[in-house]
Amino acid sequence: MSDYERCKTCGEYGWTGASAARFGGHICPPTWEARIHETKYENEWTEIHARDAEEAASKFCQQHDSNGDYDIIQSGEAEIEVRKWGEDKIALIDISAESVPTYYAHRRAAPVEPETALKTAQGEPK
């Protein structure tokens, strides 16, 4: 069976099975390690799959905030240390974060006419 599935290694989606030959198979992005700069001595490196250092820092922050207290989104910014897996050279990446408002809509049973709403508010019968 072939399908467009989520990779168990990196979490990205790609073609598998026979479709991989037809559409191009999934290849995991390189492995990076990331951690918050100000707490670097308290936390271990976290493994992230990303195409570059900036994407690794962004993915790390998304993962970090979704697993905890949302401290990055609350402060609005963070400094993230990133390095390629197996290398010692560290890049310091500035991250800015913002929350995105979400709106929900629900259909009402029946619309309320303005005249009916006014009469009801004034205590008059409908």
Instruction: Encode pLDDT of 51-71 as tens digits.
Output: 999 999 999 999 888 877 788
Query: Looking at the predicted structure, is the pLDDT value of residue 34 above 90?
Result: yes
Which amino acid is present at 4? Answer: Y
pTM to 2 decimals? 0.68
- List pLDDT tens digits, range 100-121: 888 898 887 777 677 766 666 6
Number of C-alpha atoms within 13 angstroms, CB side, residue 12? 15
122 contacts 111 by C-beta, under 8 angstroms: no
33 contacts 47 by C-beta, under 8 angstroms: yes
98 contacts 55 by C-beta, under 8 angstroms: no
What pLDDT, on the 0 to 100 scale, is given for residue 116?
Answer: 66
SS3 for 13?
strand
Domain boundaries defined on the chain: 29-96
